[in-house]
Amino acid sequence: MPFLGQDWRSPGQNWTKTQEGWKKTTADEKNNNVSVESFCKAEEEECFNKENRLISLSYDMAAKKRKKDQMNNNIKVPYFHREKWIYVHKGSTKERHGYCTLGEAFNRLDFCSAIKETRRFNYVVRLLELIAKSKLPSLSGVAQKNYMNILERVVQKVLDDQQNVRPIKELLQMLYISLCGLVQDMGKSVLVGNINTWLHRMENILQWQQQLDNIQIKRPTSTGMSLTDLPVSLQLNIMQRLKDGRDLVSLGQVCPELGPLTEDRLLWKRLCQYHFTDRQIRKRLMVSDKGQLEWKKMYFKLSRCYPHREEYIDTLHFCSHCHILFWKDTNHPCTANNPDSCTMALSPQGFINLFNF
């Protein structure tokens, strides 16, 4: 008579009765003797679950690929922040870790609304120009996308309003030249993203330049008094408010009647004295055959050697007391508690220099 219980000589084995007699089986063999029906059922369930997993995985991969393609080409990155002021911290403290970068400030400040306001438009355009010149590689990937989106809105505004065409064409030309050099250095961590993405953006820049070249400014259909109908003294007074000599030249080309007035020596003298210092003017003196100073020629010669004076109606301000960066007409927390806080207006170059640390 065989031993019916667990065999103490072979732990984990049992005696089972079969048609051929008693046999000794292990726990693994017992588990393998599953019924055919349960095995097939489990196999079907496993296949069904596997199919569902593959389908969901393919859907996820397709969705991710579609989202990536849209982000790279078509979808405009939203303006994540539209804050009126931000805190600029240049070092880590117990309360704050890290520091504020140029890209973070560019993303968080409300540049989207700034380009819609006439008082801030030139300021933002100049800032975009400085970034395109030397600071584009220092921006994060999100900031670089945000830069291109803001630039597209600027171009669209110029096309709609038919104003400020020349500065935007110069901005696009500078940006395209900078990108041509940066794309050649791809792989050296100068630009974030795929090279095809940047080539696509360069194609957009060329298209914007073509649109600006083909723009046709429509004359206003007004029956009232025009500039040529005003007295000469008023015409000169209006011309004196133009801060770019190229505008004077364009005015003389558009209105031949005003051509002699645009050559007025006093106009060009005031332009030179407005943009350049006396020392700079003395270094570039040009005298005509009649012994008179050629102020118009001196102006364009000085423009090639020295930067123009920059003046903006509305600018960003920085509070040295609380380290808040804000727009001029925005009240930040420091002014509410301390109206005499030390604030200073920042030029576009001053805004860039604020993050050079």
- pLDDT tens readout for residues 151-186: 999 999 999 988 889 999 999 999 999 888 888 765
What is residue 84's predicted lDDT score, i.e. its pLDDT? 74
What is residue 13's predicted lDDT score, i.e. its pLDDT? 64
Q: What is the pLDDT of residues 69-108, one digit of tens each?
A: 555 544 444 444 567 778 887 665 555 544 578 888 888 8
What is residue 55's predicted lDDT score, i.e. its pLDDT? 56
What is residue 73's predicted lDDT score, i.e. its pLDDT? 47
From residue 109, give the alpha-carbon distance in Å to each of 27, 60, 104, 112, 183.
70, 34, 9, 8, 28
Contact (Cβ atoms closer than 8 angstroms) between residue 113 and residue 82: yes
Task: Please list the ranges in the chain whose pLDDT falls under 50.
Answer: 30, 34-37, 39, 73-80, 97-98
Structure pTM?
0.70
Would you give the DSSP letter of residue 338? -
Pairing of strands 85-87, 21-26: unpaired
